[in-house]
């Protein structure tokens, strides 16, 4: 295996890596993108069959290419999104090399760059951009032991209801993934329990505009740092079935059993925290606060947007909220499966340069790490709330490419001293 040299190496061929490639090309910076599988692999094999984007087509895209075959207010399927990124990579002539895994990145002894060990040999690079995104290592809480015989799966491995054994199912997690999977399971005729934790619940549309538009004009996408108590709060929204506002009360009306947080398992019994009503109420407060801010924005800007008072009507709490289930005998309830829609942890163990913070991320400022020449891209709150989303990562990549270009100008002068 020969030694290859490249100026800037980008690790990851998903939305972050493609965005990074576009901006590096604009800066005239020689680079290579390595992808261990295929372009947009997470969209291909890390999602369920019926998944669609949660944001409308006008929003969930890069600026320089639209979805020209679907309505701008509709929600693209996962297969259409894969094709979108393939098309975009061709449009910008991104130098992507697929099927190559990066095993380790270490800093060169003289500080002039990095040595990158891959499945196809060694590469030396002046800069390395870790564009592996936020969905790295699925997290399944150690609540229900494997030896119980209950079929347990993370949402990244879930594909469709037929994949699960016959019987009732518990879905844990109230974000977009958990709520959509629970809804799909219920529509398939299953008995479904949904464990709901803290969440935001925006209206999918309000006064003629969708939630992506409202979060934009209200400055929510540009929030720089989260409230520490809400950094990991998920967003319950769905683009499925044409798109709809998630309302857990309606799930209950259709027969779904709502639960609080799944706490512990003992002798065949799953114990549930008494926090369901609190979590539902906090989600309602999130829902109403967005409409309050939207109404204030309409008034302040004298906009002729249709009023929508019916959107503020919140139905009565179902019995499973007022009389919460606090324990479930899994055998008696015929529960055969648990789907854990419980998010992901980061895995930067392959980066041997620099130190990681308590969240497992290289220390960084807007993606510029404390190790010169090492960058991260696509992480939640990298620079603002929008950072892990398609259009947000595009703008973060622009900033990093500019930083790399400035660094390229400085390095030759330093070498002459």
Q: What angle do CA 264, 267, 268 make, to 5 degrees?
A: 80
**pLDDT for position 116:** 98
Q: What angle, 0 to 180 degrees and rounded to 10, lies between the N-to-C axes of helices 15-26 and 390-415?
A: 50
SS3 78: helix
Angstrom CA distances, 396 to 20, 230, 402, stand at 9, 22, 10
**pLDDT for position 245:** 92
Q: What angle, 0 to 180 degrees and rounded to 10, lies between the N-to-C axes of helices 15-26 and 78-91?
A: 20
**C-beta of residue 75 within 8 angstroms of C-beta of residue 243:** yes
Residues facing residue 8 across a β-bridge: 31, 127
When pLDDT is cut at 50, 70 and 90, the band that residue 231 belongs to is low
pLDDT per residue as tens digits for the range 54-89: 899 999 999 999 999 999 999 999 999 999 999 999
For residue 294, give the nearest of 384, 213, 349, 404 by alpha carbon: 213
**Which pair of tokens denotes residue 79?**
């297969």
- Tell me how crowded residue 405 is: count the other CB atoms within 10 A of its CB: 16
pLDDT above 70 (res 229)? no
Q: Find the Cα–Cα–Cα–Cα dihedral 388, 392, 398, 404, rounded to 10°.
A: -20
pTM of this prediction? 0.93
**pLDDT for position 355:** 86
**pLDDT for position 411:** 74
Mean pLDDT of 293-322: 96
354 φ, ψ (degrees, to nearest 5): 80, -175
Residues facing residue 52 across a β-bridge: 77
**pLDDT for position 226:** 74
pLDDT above 90 (res 256)? yes
pLDDT per residue as tens digits for the range 154-182: 999 999 999 999 999 999 998 999 999 99
When pLDDT is cut at 50, 70 and 90, the band that residue 48 belongs to is very high
The percent of residues above 70 in pLDDT, for the chain, comes to: 96
pLDDT above 50 (res 114)? yes
Helix (H) or strand (E) holding 281: helix 276-300
**pLDDT for position 199:** 92
When pLDDT is cut at 50, 70 and 90, the band that residue 416 belongs to is very low
For residue 214, give the nearest of 186, 192, 242, 245 by alpha carbon: 245
**pLDDT for position 364:** 94
Chain centroid offset of residue 394 CA? 15
pLDDT per residue as tens digits for the range 87-112: 999 999 999 999 999 999 999 999 89
Q: Lowest-confidence range among 2-6, 268-272, 277-281, 296-300?
A: 2-6
When pLDDT is cut at 50, 70 and 90, the band that residue 128 belongs to is very high
pLDDT above 60 (res 232)? no
pLDDT above 80 (res 242)? yes
When pLDDT is cut at 50, 70 and 90, the band that residue 398 belongs to is very high
**pLDDT for position 372:** 95
For residue 235, give the nearest of 253, 257, 212, 255 by alpha carbon: 212
**pLDDT for position 193:** 98
Residues facing residue 106 across a β-bridge: 115
Mean pLDDT for all residues in the chain: 94
pLDDT above 60 (res 1)? no
């Amino acid at each position: 295996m020969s030694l290859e040299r490249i100026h800037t190496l980008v690790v990851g061929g998903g939305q972050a890596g493609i965005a990074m490639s576009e901006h590096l090309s604009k800066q005239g910076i020689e680079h290579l993108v390595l992808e261990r599988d295929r372009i947009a692999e997470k969209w291909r094999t890390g999602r369920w069959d019926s998944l669609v984007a949660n944001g409308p087509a006008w929003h969930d895209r890069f600026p320089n290419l639209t979805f020209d075959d679907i309505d701008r207010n509709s929600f693209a399927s996962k297969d259409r999104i894969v094709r979108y990124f393939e098309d975009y990579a061709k449009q910008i002539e991104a130098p992507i090399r697929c099927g190559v895994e990066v095993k380790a990145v270490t800093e060169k002894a003289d500080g002039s760059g990095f040595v990158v060990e891959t499945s196809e040999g060694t590469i030396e690079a002046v800069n390395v951009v870790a564009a592996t995104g936020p969905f790295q290592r699925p997290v399944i809480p150690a609540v229900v032991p494997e030896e119980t015989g209950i079929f347990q799966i993370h949402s990244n491995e879930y594909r469709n209801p037929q994949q699960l054994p016959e019987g009732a199912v518990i879905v844990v997690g109230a974000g977009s993934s958990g709520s959509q999977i629970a809804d799909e399971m219920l529509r398939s005729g299953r008995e479904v329990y949904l464990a709901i934790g803290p969440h935001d619940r925006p209206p999918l549309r309000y006064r003629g505009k969708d939630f992506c538009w409202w979060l934009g004009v209200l400055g929510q996408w540009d929030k720089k740092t989260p409230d520490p108590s809400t950094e990991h709060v998920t967003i319950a929204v769905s683009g499925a079935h044409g798109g709809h506002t998630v309302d857990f009360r309606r799930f209950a009306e259709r027969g779904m059993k709502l639960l609080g947080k799944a706490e512990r398992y003992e002798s065949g019994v799953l114990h549930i925290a008494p926090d369901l009503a609190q979590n539902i109420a906090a989600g309602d407060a999130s829902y109403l606060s967005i409409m309050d801010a939207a109404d204030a924005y309409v008034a302040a800007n004298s906009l002729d947007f249709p009023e929508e008072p019916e959107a503020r009507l919140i139905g009565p709490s179902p019995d499973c909220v007022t009389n919460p289930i606090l324990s479930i005998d899994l055998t008696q309830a015929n529960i055969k499966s648990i789907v854990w829609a419980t998010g992901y942890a980061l895995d930067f163990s392959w980066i041997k340069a620099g130190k990681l913070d308590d969240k497992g991320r290289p220390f960084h400022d807007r993606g510029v790490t404390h190790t010169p020449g090492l960058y991260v891209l696509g992480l939640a709150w990298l620079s603002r709330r929008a950072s892990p989303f398609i259009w947000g990562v595009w703008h973060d990549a622009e900033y990093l490419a500019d930083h790399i270009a400035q660094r390229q100008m400085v390095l030759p002068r330093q070498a002459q001293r």
